[in-house]
A = this chain, B = another copy of it.
Amino acid sequence: MAKSSQKEKSSPQARSGQHEVADRGLSGLIRRGNVFSEKCPSRDIMKNVTSRWGVLLLVALLEGTHRFSELRRKIGGISEKMLAQTLQRLEYDGFVQRTSYPVVPPYVEYRLTPLGRQIGKKVRALGDWIEENVPKILAARESR
């Protein structure tokens, strides 16, 4: 427990021009984000998703449900701390679902939610493209 650290950013003076949407009064009814504007929540979401380990986790989980230790072994170089932290952020944003069974050696499963599968596919497309083009990029680097 003890992970309820909500950032309260409700300052009295309205947050102006955050995502260029008519703010009709009450809670945030945002129709769409805009990455180009500072302070748009999409920036935050991006950060989690495109973080060093976030990318890899999404791609790994696209292949199916994994246990914590399976992910650790699958993703070369990740530390337990980072694995736990990144999984929690992805869970917080509704991309992964954590299921724990109260058995004696702990058994915890991580799987993508429908939302997570959607974004995971975009990330994998990027990852695949890079993997395929590593030679070209390396060549471009050297020819300077």
Contact = CB atoms under 8 A, between A and B. Distances in A.
Interface of A: 6, 19, 28-38, 40-42, 45-47, 49-52, 55-56, 59-60, 74-77, 92-94, 115, 118-119, 122-123, 125-127, 129-138, 140-141, 144
A141 to B, nearest CB: 6
A136 B94 contact: yes
A115 B127 contact: no
This protein's copies in its complex: 2
Given A56-B35, A74-B36, A115 B131 contact: no
A133 B136 CA distance: 33
A31 B119 contact: no
A82 B70 CA distance: 37
B135 A115 contact: no
B127 A38 contact: no
A117 to B, nearest CB: 12
Given A30-B135, A41-B134, A115-B133, 10 more contacts: A6-B144, A19-B134, A32-B131, A35-B130, A50-B50, A94-B137, A94-B141, A115-B136, A119-B133, A126-B126
